[in-house]
Amino acid sequence: MLADKSLREVLDAFASSEPTPGGGSAAAMIGALGASLLAMVAGLPKTKTGTDQARQALDSARTLLLAYRDELLALIDKDAAAYDLVVAAYKRPKGTDEEKAARSKAIQDAMRVAAETPVETMRACAKVMEAATAVAEHGNPSAQSDIAVAAQSVGNAMQAALFNVEINLGSIKDQTVIDRIVADAKQISGDASEAAGTIMQEANVVDLMRAVAKRVGMHHAAPPEPGTPEHTERFAAMAAESLIRLGTDEARHALDVLAKSRDPKIAARAQQVLDRPADG
């Protein structure tokens, strides 16, 4: 297993000219790193309140985080194996009609596995996020930056895994398989987003981001203050994008309502999304 190698050996494997390990394996590794960092915070002797309840919550979270870390470590190699399965399917003989049919089926089966595996990475990352809410709520406030780095890492791992889901869906012909995988990815993303919001609030990550932005001038990196035009515009953009991706009649109706908002920024953003070409 790649996880059993030294750090330098792992990095050399990613840097090699071989196609695996690739982006999907990297996503799992980044998620495992975030889970490990959160487990460290959960294991610190000092808690936010010093109560037995906080200690118990952190101990439980640490146990879960280490288990989810191991899931992600296994997915590093599983993702590489999924790619190898695709390569093997494309190498199957295609001299006769029977061989062509068998090859085509093998390719589709392999592409399904290749798309489902990063969904597993997303699911493991979402579980890490859920367990991390207890770390953010009860963890040592001095570890605020560790929690922020870990949450950012797990969030990036989820996005990276989603890239791999998308790239493999393009080769799947069965729409029912695509719909199922997309539904799973949407549900997982929603669950993780809710947990991430809790982490940012409980660990005051937003305040940390604003402090960094103020100190080094990276204003684009800091969440805008609620009630400001920038906050309204960003909220409108997120809402409009989320609705259009749902692709339902109800979502489009909601966009129509937003486009008639008295707030010009919300109305303009919703209308911009409505006017986007169908393939955009």
Contacts of 159 (CB under 8 A, 6+ apart): none
pLDDT of residue 13: 95
pLDDT for position 268? 76
Do residues 60 and 23 lie in contact, with contact meaning Cβ atoms separated by under 8 Å? no
Pick the CATH number of 2-219 from 1.20.120.680, 3.40.1190.20, 3.40.50.300, 3.40.50.2300: 1.20.120.680
Only one residue has tokens 């494309």, namely 90
The whole-number pLDDT of residue 280 equals: 45
Predicted TM-score (pTM) of the model is 0.77
Instruction: Give the SS3 label for residue 47.
Output: strand
Left (φ > 0), alpha (ψ -120 to 50) or beta: where does 244 sit? alpha
What type of residue sits at position 191? D
- The rounded distance, in Å, linking the Cα atoms of 56 and 63 is 11
Contacts of 170 (CB under 8 A, 6+ apart): none
Stretches in the chain below the pLDDT threshold 70 = 217-255, 257-258, 263, 265-266, 277-280
Question: Mean pLDDT for the chain?
Answer: 86
Give the residue from 183, 192, 191 showing the smallest Cα distance to 165: 183
Q: How far is CA 275 from CA 202, 232, 243, 256, 271, in A?
A: 38, 20, 14, 11, 6
CA atoms of 140 and 137, how far apart (whole Å): 9
Q: From the DSSP assignment, how many helices (H) and strands (E) are in the chain?
A: 10, 0
Chain segment 232-260, per-residue pLDDT in tens: 555 555 555 555 555 556 556 666 766 77
How much is the pLDDT for 260? 74
What 3-state class would DSSP assign to 139? strand
pLDDT at 240: 55
Label residue 277 exposed, middle or buried (CB < 10 Å: 0-12, 13-18, 19+): exposed
Task: State residue 1's pLDDT score.
Answer: 85
User: Nearest Cα to 144, choosing from 63, 84, 227, 206?
Assistant: 206
The residue among 204, 35, 51, 54 whose CA lies nearest residue 139 is 54
Q: How far apart are CA 110 and CA 15, in angstroms?
A: 25
Helical segments of 139-248, H only? 144-169, 175-202, 205-216, 229-246
Query: 10 Å Cβ neighbour count for 226?
Result: 8
